[in-house]
Amino acid sequence: MCSVLMPRAPLRRVAVTGGTHGNELSGVYLVRHWLQDPSELQRPSFSTTPVLANPAAAAACRRYVDCDLNRAFTCTLLLSRATPDDPYEVTRARELDQLLGPKASGSDQAFDFVLDLHNTTANMGTCLIVNGSHNIFAMHLSHHLKLQFPEVPCRVFLHQPLQSAAPESNTLDSVAKNGMTVELGPQPQGVLRADVFSRMRALVASALDFMELFNQGTAFPAFEMEVYRNLGSEDFPRTEDGDLAGIVHPQLQDRDYEPLQPGAPIFQKFSGEDVRYEGHATVYPIFINEAAYYEKHVAFLRTEKLVISVPPLPALPPPLRVSNPSGTTGPVFPSEQGS
């Protein structure tokens, strides 16, 4: 994704993607429903396209068929020459890049925003994953969603560590001009819970409402917001052969976003002894005991909790606003994005 600060033109094309992981069912079934009946996605000033991102994995109710689709959106993979031996998800990533991007060109062809829908088995509640705090539009969208659902804690996770040489984003939302990932839990893989389903549906509706407000010329003032920033991951204890030697400690399980002090127990070995956290500072674990991360050697992510100041999102200048909120799409403007 190019380094978007804030759009200077209305959003025209938005995609809502589900089933990037085929066993995270809230997004799978919301997208399947919207493909039949897209009425609740419609807004006056822009089009919204529902996309089932990994149809083969969704059909098999598995995270992926050959490899994790949501790690396949690197420019290297997207631009490499296709071969018959390519993993299914690499081929599918190229198709999605054609549909929603292309990522590499930075051209006007790409969708303006991708909202990618996920579930986690961790006790994460509502988590909005933004690449970094420089993404002013996504930060304002997150702030809007937090205010819309005050009864449910809604956290913002900055995925990319604050490093001068942050790694290239490899996730689906990186193919469009801008994007965000919605992560709801806890929900087991292969299960559709009504409470999580309704929450995701309401979040998507509210996100589209925010985009409509922006397109209509609403200005959004500066604010301060609590965020969790990625510091890296912690693996399970392992045997010499690499097998699991223990399990997330009961005192850590389900305590996503809570402070973890140095010396606190984080794992319980099968042999009975505790493993304690050896870091030097308090961290805030998230994605604790996420099923899909066992194979990635991630028992949880360490984050730091920060309060950051987000600058205002100014109103679009009048000539650029969509001035017709009556239900028809407003005039088409050249796409302009800050960098």
Which residues of this chain interact with its own copies, rule CB under 8 A? 29, 32-33, 37, 61-62, 121, 186-195, 197-198, 243-244, 247-250, 253, 268, 270-271, 289, 291-292, 294-295
Give least dist CB 115 to its own copies, A. Answer: 19
CA distance 71 to 73: 6
Give least dist CB 192 to its own copies, A. Answer: 5
Nearer to its own copies, 156 or 288 (CB): 288
Nearer to its own copies, 121 or 178 (CB): 121
DSSP symbols for 229-271: EEEEEEPPPB-TTS-B-EEE-TTTTT-TTS-B-TT-EEEEETT
134: DSSP letter: T
Q: How far is CA 246 from the centre of its chain?
A: 29
Q: How far is CA 251 from the centre of its chain?
A: 27
Give least dist CB 79 to its own copies, A. Answer: 32
Residue with tokens 């991007």: 101
Nearer to its own copies, 32 or 305 (CB): 32
Identify any residues that bridge with 233 across adjacent strands, giving them in sequence order.
Answer: 301
Contacts 24+ apart (CB under 8 A), 165-169: 166/132, 168/74, 168/75, 169/1, 169/73, 169/131
Nearer to its own copies, 102 or 246 (CB): 246
Give least dist CB 23 to its own copies, A. Answer: 8
Give least dist CB 135 to its own copies, A. Answer: 31
Nearer to its own copies, 8 or 32 (CB): 32
Nearer to its own copies, 191 or 306 (CB): 191
Give least dist CB 126 to its own copies, A. Answer: 17
Nearer to its own copies, 17 or 169 (CB): 17
Nearer to its own copies, 40 or 304 (CB): 40
Give least dist CB 282 to its own copies, A. Answer: 22
Give least dist CB 268 to its own copies, A. Answer: 5
CA distance 214 to 11: 8
Residues 140-172 as b/e (b if ≥16 CB within 10 A, e otherwise) read bbbbbbbebeeeeebbbbbbbeeeeeeeebbbb
Q: Under the phi-then-psi rule, with left for phi > 0, alpha for psi from -120 to 50, and beta for the rest, what region is 194? A: alpha
Both tokens of 100, joined, read 């929603």
DSSP symbols for 162-183: S-TTPPPP-SGGGSSSSEEEEE
Q: How far is CA 24 from the centre of its chain?
A: 13
Nearer to its own copies, 64 or 214 (CB): 64
Residue type, 39: S
CA distance 53 to 96: 7
CA distance 233 to 287: 10
Give least dist CB 186 to its own copies, A. Answer: 8
